[in-house]
Amino acid sequence: MYTLVFRLIRYLVSQRWGMILLGSIVVIVGIIIGLTSRQVTYQTTQKALVKHYLYSESGDDKNRAYVQLDGDSALYFLDEKDFTPALSSSLLSDHPLWQVTFDPEDTTQITATAGNTGTHLDGTGAHVAQIVAYDENSADPKTYQTSGYAANPHGSYQNNWLIGGGVMLLGLILASLAFILPHYRKKPALIGGQFTGTPVQGFPAYTPNPGAFSAQPQQPVAPYPFVNGGQPSSSPNQQYPNQQYPNQQYPNQQYPNQQYPNQQYPNQQYPNQQYPNQQYPNQQYPNQQYPNQQYPNQQYPNQ
């Protein structure tokens, strides 16, 4: 049940009309709360013997008790912790005659059964605000009052518009979000290649220009610039920018009996070579320098 309600609320929040509906409902609830404001007036019973005094069966209302007086079919309820002075456990035995002052507009549904006697109370009970207890001889009165009654024993006006107004304000905020948040703003639709919608104030409406993005005639591709000052090159077998030379590969050139950069020589190991009467790393070979070797009529890598 709770999952269904949560999904419904989440769906309504995601829709603009849903936010307006939720805001309206909250505003109505606030009005209802405000309309519950009333003038509190108390009524007082005749002095009578307490016929039934039962405690609530709910663990949450363990301090709540239900009362019925002898010769009176009406039911009453009270919260023992609300009274000053505190109600003692011997009150019923020492002062069994009660005169009850109650608020007839503040009621609750009573359903209680005594575990030892099986007495069952079922009906609507009014809230007790004051108890005047007497002994068996209708003497020695003891008065117990709630704080609300002590402050206003002749009644008061219960104003609920403060709470109701806050709830109404919350509803108005929820409804206004549907017109403020960009998420709920109406997006322009694309119809026939044109955007429809209301133009923003201060900006002209967009008028598409069909020729603004029309296809332009294709321009001929210019050939790659010639070398040698704009004249065709006379060098045979030439490609630009990657030129090819006869019997040559660049940048990795191949020479007869040669590998570069790791060259192999007969009876030689590099880099750790051991030769008699020789020191490394600066080896001396006839007409040879390493790593920049010189070959007859040849330069590397730029020929």
As a whole number of angstroms, the distance between CA 158 and CA 119 comes to: 35
For residue 84 the two structure tokens come to 């000053």
pLDDT at 160: 87
Q: Please tell me the distance from the alpha carbon of residue 251 to that of residue 229, in angstroms, as a whole number.
A: 26
pLDDT for 284 equals 53
Report the half-sphere exposure of 208 (CA within 13 A, side-chain side). 10
The rounded average pLDDT for each run of 10 residues, N- to C-terminus, in the chain (303 residues) is 81 84 92 87 93 79 87 93 91 94 92 84 94 94 94 83 92 87 58 52 56 57 53 51 55 54 54 55 54 53 51
Rounded Cα gap, residues 24 and 15, in angstroms: 14
Number of H helices, E strands in the chain: 6, 12
The CA distance from 193 to 208, in Å, is 9
Judge whether 27 and 172 are in contact, CB under 8 Å.
Answer: yes
Residue from 226, 170, 212, 221 nearest 28 by CA: 170
Buried b (16+ CB within 10 A) or exposed e, 173-195: ebbebbeeeeebeeeeeeeeeee
Radius of gyration of the chain (CA): 52
Q: What is the pLDDT of residue 187?
A: 55
Residue 166 near residue 33, CB atoms below 8 Å = no
Give the per-residue pLDDT at 11.
Answer: 84
Question: Which of 144, 153, 133, 127 minimizes the C-alpha distance to 47?
Answer: 133
